[in-house]
Amino acid sequence: MKKLLKAIPLCLLFFSFTIVASYGQNSIFGKWKTIDDESGEAKSVVEIYEKNGKAYGKIIKIFNEKKQDAICDECDDDDPRKNQKILGMEIIKDMEKDGKEWTDGKILDPNSGSEYKSTMWLENGKLHVRGYVGFSFIGRTQVWERIE
């Protein structure tokens, strides 16, 4: 009986870690390796986090050594990110949870300076990030891989 009583806290601890780990895999929050949908090349790491109940994301790593100090010189003149370093830049903003998707936010392509409406969803452990203009069928989707 004493062995059983000693084992209960360990079982509860293991069960708690299992729940937390599986919840993390079903969440968009964390670090994601961005994969270019045209070249298939890994470009950066974006950390997605929650702020005031919405999802935001910033670039925390750029894989191309030559682009470490790149700036968003193509951003609109009225965008506060204009001429700011891309590394550390918030490129995802105001995403709201809607069922299994995150919608109604914006995503910035810092290379072109273009900002798009965005929708994100998890599928098979990967994050699908869609940027579009007007209607959601006019746009591009990238599939990002979780790294943490």
Q: What are the tens digits of pLDDT across the range 66-124?
A: 999 999 999 999 999 999 999 999 999 999 999 999 999 999 999 999 999 999 999 99
* Domain assignment present for 9: no
Q: How far apart are CA 139 and CA 67, in angstroms?
A: 25
* Domain assignment present for 82: yes
* Domain assignment present for 22: no
* Domain assignment present for 20: no
Q: Are 144 and 118 in contact (CB under 8 A)?
A: no
* Domain assignment present for 129: yes
pLDDT of residue 146 exceeding 70: yes
Question: Residue 111 CA to chain centroid, in angstroms?
Answer: 17
- Per-residue pLDDT at 18: 35
The number of domains in the chain is 1
Statement: the pTM of the whole predicted model exceeds 0.75: yes
Q: Which one is predicted more confidently, 137 or 55?
A: 55
* Domain assignment present for 5: no
> The domain that contains 40 carries what CATH number?
2.40.128.520
Provide mean pLDDT across the span 136-147: 90
* Structural domain boundaries enclosing 86: 29-146
Question: Residue 71 CA to chain centroid, in angstroms?
Answer: 20
pLDDT of residue 6 exceeding 50: no
